[in-house]
C-alpha cells in the first residue's frame, strides 16, 4: 500500500513516516512538503494520505486520508474509504489503526 505523508512542520512529517516504516514495514511510504501535495498525489497515486488540509484533489482521488490539525493538540479528521470520523489528539497507535483499516480495503 502506498502512503504519502505531507504534513508541516517537517519534524511531524518525518516522525509519522518513520513510525509507519518501523511498525508497518510492508508500506511504501513517501514524504512531501505540503506545497507539493497536489503534484505528489498525481505522481505517487497513494492509497492513504496524511496532510494538514485534505484538498479537493485528495478527497476525490485518494481512497483514504487523514487531515491533521496542529494547534494545541493534534486533532484529526479521518476518511477511510468514505467512512468519516474525528480523533482528538491523535496518537501513533491511532495512525497504525487507520493504516490497518485502509489496508483491509486495498487488499
**49-68 pLDDT tens trace:** 999 999 999 999 999 999 99
pLDDT at 106: 83
pLDDT value at residue 107: 67
User: Per-residue pLDDT for 71 more than 80?
Assistant: no
Query: What per-residue confidence (pLDDT) applies to 74?
Result: 86
10: cell is: 517537517
Spatial contact of 26 and 81, defined as CB atoms under 8 Å apart? no
pLDDT at 105: 82
Q: Considering the chain, what is the average pLDDT of its residues? A: 95
Mean pLDDT of 63-92: 93
Domains in the chain, number? 1
Question: CA quadruple 1, 8, 41, 86: dihedral positive or negative?
Answer: positive
Give the containing element (helix H, strand E) for 80: strand 74-80
Which structural domain, as residue segments, surrounds residue 92? Answer: 2-106
Asked if residue 29 has pLDDT above 90, the reply is yes
Instruction: Give the separation between CA 28 and CA 106, rounded to whole angstroms.
Output: 13
The domain spanning residue 12 has which CATH number? 3.40.50.170
Question: From CA 73, how far away is CA 55, in angstroms rounded?
Answer: 21
How far is Cα 78 from Cα 80, in angstroms, rounded to an integer? 6
Amino acid at each position: 500500500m502506498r502512503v504519502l505523508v505531507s504534513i508541516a512542520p517537517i519534524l511531524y512529517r518525518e516522525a509519522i513516516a518513520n513510525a509507519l516504516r518501523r511498525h508497518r514495514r510492508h508500506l511504501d511510504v513517501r514524504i512531501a512538503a505540503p506545497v507539493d501535495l497536489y503534484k505528489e498525489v498525481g505522481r505517487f497515486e497513494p492509497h492513504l494520505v496524511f496532510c494538514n488540509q485534505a484538498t479537493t484533489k485528495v478527497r476525490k482521488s485518494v481512497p483514504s486520508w487523514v487531515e491533521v490539525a496542529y494547534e494545541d493538540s493534534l486533532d484529526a479528521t479521518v476518511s477511510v474509504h468514505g467512512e468519516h470520523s474525528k480523533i482528538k489528539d491523535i496518537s501513533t497507535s491511532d495512525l497504525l489503526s487507520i493504516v490497518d483499516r485502509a489496508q483491509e480495503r486495498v487488499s
